[in-house]
Every structure is written in C-alpha cells, then in structure tokens.
Amino acid sequence: MTQPIVDTLCVIGPGLIGSSVLRRARLDSAIARETIAVDRDEQVCARVCELDLADIITTDALRGAAEADVVMLCVPVGAIATVAAEILPVMKPGAILTDVGSTRRSVVDAIAPHLRPDVAYVPAHPMAGTEHSGPDAGFATLFENRWCLLTPLENTSSKAIATIEALWHAMGARTRVMDIDHHDRICAIVSHVPHLLAFSICHTADTLADELRSEVLDFAASGFRDFTRIAASDPIMWRDIFLNNREAILEMLERFAQDAQKMATAIREGDEATIVSSVERGRAIRRSLIENRQA
C-alpha cells in the first residue's frame, strides 16, 4: 500500500472549509492515515462527532497539534496567528503548519515571530467556498477544479510546499504559488470588494425600503438575488477579512468607485457608446470565467 500524503492531519476549526477537508480525507485514504478535528466550541465538536468527520475530535488544540504531521488552521483570519502562537511550541519537529486564511500579509507577519526552524509554515488559500458556515455546510467536492493559492515564505522548504500542494491536488484543487502582497491585491478585487458591495447594496435597499415605507425587497428578482447571495456570509469571517486586508481593499474600492463614476457620467450625458462598451466588457469577463470553469 502506498503511503498517504500525510500521516496524521489535524484540522483546527472544522467549519465550512475544515469540514470539507475532513470529508474529502474520509473519502480518500491517500490523503491522511489519521485525522484529528479540533474546535474550541464543544457544540461544533459534538456535531463533527455525529457526522463522523474525524478519527479524533477534541477541544484541546495542544493535544491535536502535538500528534499531527500537518496542522491546518481553518479558523477566522483574526484567530489564525493566536492559535498558531499557541500550538507552535508543541508541534513535532519536521511537522508542517498550514492554514486556509482569506488574507495573507497581516497573518504571515503576525505568525513569523513564533515560527520554529524545524516546523515549516505553508500558508494556503483555497479559492472556494459558499455563504454558509459550520461543519454541516461542508462538502467533499468543494475544492474540485478550484484554485488554491500558496504563499510560502522565502525560506519555506520546497518539500513542505510540495506536500501541501499534493494535499490540495488530492482534494481536487489546482495550485498556484504566489507572492503574499500580490495575493492580497488579487483577492481584494475578486473576493473582498465584491462581498463589500453585496453587503452594502443590501443595506442601501433595506434603508430605502424603510424610507419609502415600501416593499422594495419583496420585488428583489433574480438580479438582486444573484448579486447578493454572498451577503449571507458570516459576519466574523468578513469583519476579519476587511480589517486584515485594509490597504488592498481600500485601493480596489477606490478604483471601483472611479469606474462607477464613469458609468454615472455616461448615463447622465446619454453617452451610449461608453455604456455599451462597459456592458460588453462585463459580458466578456463573465464568459471567460465560464470557459475557465470558475463560474
């Protein structure tokens, strides 16, 4: 029998992302020989137990981390560095620390002072998810054909990077290694600002409904529904993302505001050509997403 990619895999935070990893590992014994799930919330642990998602389930992060060859942090961005600092001292020499955080620079900088020379840190970010959270929301095919972006540090060993890439390939994902700040700028425009807009337009429509004493939201048809699916996402997760990728998000929001202003001007001035060319560009981008199997 061939060796699994990881002997013991510990997932800390078996919510949407962590439970999807564990579900995939349950289906494919080539991923890990043994799995451990750690959550600080006893109810989450009880549910992970009912769903039979891991071999060992505990609220004790130190116990889970001490036994693992790979520890994957799947907690909100704002908790990643705190949990890393807590568990790094007990990790096995030669083990790998990885995570799935949606933002990179502030997390990597906060973890750096706690790193050990004998434990590799391989930050990774699966570009896959849904608007739902918790262990019930996960599913084994979540990462199928999705990108997972790895942002290793300069001194991260190529062996550790290869192990984490193999892990994500086994979960069905494609991987790309990229620079930390580049990652944060890309995710600001493709993920963070779109969420900001979805939250904001819901707010605007709701305020308008109050002001007009009208049923604005009752008539929200498929355009509003499709545009705002992601507004149902978890508030803590998004608070942490917005505060941890502040500069890139503000930069992209400013660029978006300038483009929206150009459209406003075109509408005001009856500039048909600018309006049509903007819609055509949007259509082309949307079509290329479908061709790239990302929509």
Ligand X SMILES: O=C(O)C(=O)C[C@]1(C(=O)O)C=C[C@@H](O)C=C1
For residue 127, the minimal CB distance to ligand X (Å) is 5
Q: Which is nearer to ligand X, 247 or 269 (CB)?
A: 247
Q: How far is the CB of 232 from ligand X (least distance, A)?
A: 8
Q: Which lies closer to ligand X via its Cβ, residue 21 or residue 115? A: 21
Quick one: 72 or 88, whose CB is closer to ligand X? 72
**Helix ranges restricted to H, the chain:** 16-27, 42-50, 61-67, 77-87, 105-111, 158-170, 180-187, 193-212, 222-228, 235-244, 246-269, 272-291
Q: Which stretch binds ligand NAD (CB under 6 A): 39-47, 90-98, 205-213, 269-277?
A: 39-47
Contacts of 130 (CB under 8 A, 6+ apart): 16, 137, 142
Candidates 36-44, 181-189, 207-215, 263-271; binding stretch for ligand NAD (CB under 6 A): 36-44
Partner from ligand NAD, ligand X, none binding residue 191, C-beta < 5-8 Å depending on class: ligand X
- Examine residue 188 and tell whether it contacts ligand NAD (CB under 6 A): no
Q: Give the helix ranges, DSSP H, for 88-131.
A: 105-111
Query: Residues 132, 138, 141, CA angle at the centre, nearest 5°?
Result: 120
User: Residue 148, interface with ligand NAD (CB under 6 A)?
Assistant: no
For the beta carbon of residue 270, count every other beta carbon within 10 angstroms: 8
Question: Whose CA is closest to 167, among 83, 98, 107?
Answer: 98
Q: Smallest distance from the beta carbon of 64 to ligand NAD, in angstroms?
A: 10
**What is the pattern of x (binds ligand NAD, CB under 6 A) and - over residues 89-108?**
-----------xxx------
Q: Which does 56 bind (CB under 5 to 8 A by kind): ligand NAD, ligand X, none?
A: none
- From the list ligand X, ligand NAD, none, partner contacted by residue 55 (C-beta under 5 to 8 A by kind): none
Applying CB under 6 A, the span of 38-46, 172-180, 219-227, 269-277 interacting with ligand NAD comes to 38-46
The residue (of 243 and 276) whose beta carbon lies closer to ligand NAD is 243
> What does the alpha-carbon distance between residue 167 and residue 161 come to, in Å, rounded to a whole number?
10
Nearest approach in angstroms of CB 193 to ligand X is 10
In what order do the strands lie in the sheet containing 96-99? Answer: 56-58, 32-38, 6-12, 70-73, 96-99, 120-126, 147-150, 174-177
Q: Are 205 and 224 in contact (CB under 8 A)?
A: yes
As a whole number of angstroms, the distance between CA 39 and CA 25 comes to: 18
Helix, strand or coil, per DSSP, at residue 113: helix
What residue ranges bind ligand X (CB under 6 A)?
102, 127-131, 191, 230, 233
Of 55 and 234, nearer to ligand NAD (C-beta) is 234
Nearest to 101 by CA among 194, 7, 187, 198: 187
Binding site partner of 230, from ligand X, ligand NAD, none, Cβ cut-off 5-8 A by kind? ligand X
User: Applying CB under 6 A, which residues contact ligand NAD?
Assistant: 12-13, 15-18, 38-41, 44, 61, 74-77, 79, 83, 100-102, 126, 129-130, 133-134, 234, 237, 241
